[in-house]
Amino acid sequence: MNSKKIRELTFILHRYLGLAVGLLLVIVGLTGSLLVFEQDFDRFMITQQYGQITPQKVQVSPESVMNTIETKYAARSDLHLFRIYLPDTPTSPYIGQLSTTKDQRTEVFLNPYTGKVIGERISDNTLIGMMLSLHYSLMAGETGTKIVGIIAFFMCVLTITGLILWPGWRRLIAGFKIKLDAHPKRANFDIHKVAGIITVVFLFFTGFTGFCWNFYDLTEPIIYAVTFTPKLSEPVSKPVPGKSTLNLTQQLKIADTALPGAITKSIYFPSKPEEALQIRMKLPQENVEYGNSNVYLDQYSGKVLRVDNALKLPLGDRVLNSFVPLHYGTFWGLPSRILYVFVGLAPLILFITGFVMWRYRYQGKIRISDRSSELSHSRRD
């Protein structure tokens, strides 16, 4: 098959795949743009809803917060405290997250200086929660998650085919030029090619990471396999009959010793007797907000079961950890997050300009067909 034929097939695939999945990509892209600053917006909404926290000298301990939450919801057997986020600024609250048997999350906010509950909410019912659900699964549950994963894969295909078709490979300057004063058909094409080439790398990585997340059970072992990285076994606690779990304050001291210099960002509580207590931490050199370092402890003895230093992880784990900054655009801090707002708008621009190009071509075929029909009739006459 010659290069001309390959290009024609690539063009057909790019056009009709874009038309088929374009609207869904627009929805995912626009919600992605809104979610780039989700944490900043969420902090603002929490402050507006539950009031400003006045910094004081001493914060209450995570163990005190855990006890307060468990006491408050003791009568709710359907709720399980699975995570606590520690305050990341002097004016931030503790955030406790509880899950239900219906996979619904309740968030509890506590003043870090008084330990009092200042509010609660069901996270899925917030604006951010609904945007996340729309972005991740089109608000259609597990089926929607799979659909979005497939759409993300198609976006990867579109970026690759678009890159092949980009006219700048023949003339580099022409590939980045937009002639707005030209015929609308040419101006529309120029906008499409430039918007595509500027965002192609970012669209590919957001699509690739989105696909991997939505099909994680399939992609995780593949990533470990291609990077020749053995997956570590899950740490396991050894229940001791008649012995209660070690108190949280002691566990946190052990974690600090196991990973010196790291700051505790969140705590994941075991849901089963044999599960380990997970302390998520952040080293000063990490650029991920909540860190990728972890200390796993036996919940009964406090024995260190595993330490994951984010700076020394095997290749496969580093690849998986890179998904967050690549998908959310946090790898260059604020500049890359602002860039990702526009990356999220790219599917809308590309779909509109792509549809216009298809429309021009479709109308051109109709005119040619009409002319052929007229010539045929005239010859008969």
Could you state, in order of their start, the residue ranges of all structural domains in the chain? Answer: 3-36+138-227+333-371
Work out the percent of the chain whose per-residue pLDDT is above 70.
Answer: 94
> For 22-45, what is the mean pLDDT?
94
- Long-range interactions of 25-28: CB distance < 8 A, separation 24+: 25/151, 25/154, 25/155, 25/347, 25/351, 26/347, 26/348, 26/351, 27/134, 27/138, 28/135, 28/148, 28/151, 28/152, 28/210, 28/347
Find the range with the poorest average confidence among 93-107, 326-340, 357-371: 357-371
Other Cβ atoms within 10 Å of 95 Cβ, number:
20
CA distance 347 to 338: 16
Q: Is the pLDDT of residue 226 over 70?
A: yes
Q: What is the pTM of this model?
A: 0.90
Give me the pLDDT at residue 243, please: 86
What's residue 26's pLDDT? 97
Q: Report pLDDT for 295.
A: 98
pLDDT the model gives residue 362: 77
Three-class SS state of 246: coil
Which tokens go with 299? Answer: 């919940």
Q: Are 18 and 268 in contact (CB under 8 A)?
A: no
CA gap 347, 81 in Å, rounded = 39
**CA–CA distance, 174 with 197 (Å, rounded to integer):** 12
Closest by Cα among 95, 87, 96 to 59? 87
Instruction: Quote the pLDDT of residue 346.
Output: 97
Residues 6+ apart with CB under 8 A from 149: 210, 211, 213, 214, 215
| Residue 173 confidence class, pLDDT cut points 50, 70, 90 | confident
The SS3 call for residue 239 is: coil
Say which amino acid occupies 347: P
Task: Return the percentage of the chain with pLDDT > 90, whole number.
Answer: 81
Q: Are 138 and 24 in contact (CB under 8 A)?
A: yes
Q: Partners of 363 in the beta sheet? A: none
Q: Which residue has the tokens 């406090």?
A: 302
Q: Assign 214 a pLDDT band (cuts: 50, 70, 90).
A: very high
In the block, residue with structure tokens 């309740």: 106
| Statement: residue 365 has pLDDT above 70 | no
Residue 201: both structure tokens together: 């790398």
Least confident of 58-72, 89-103, 356-370: 356-370
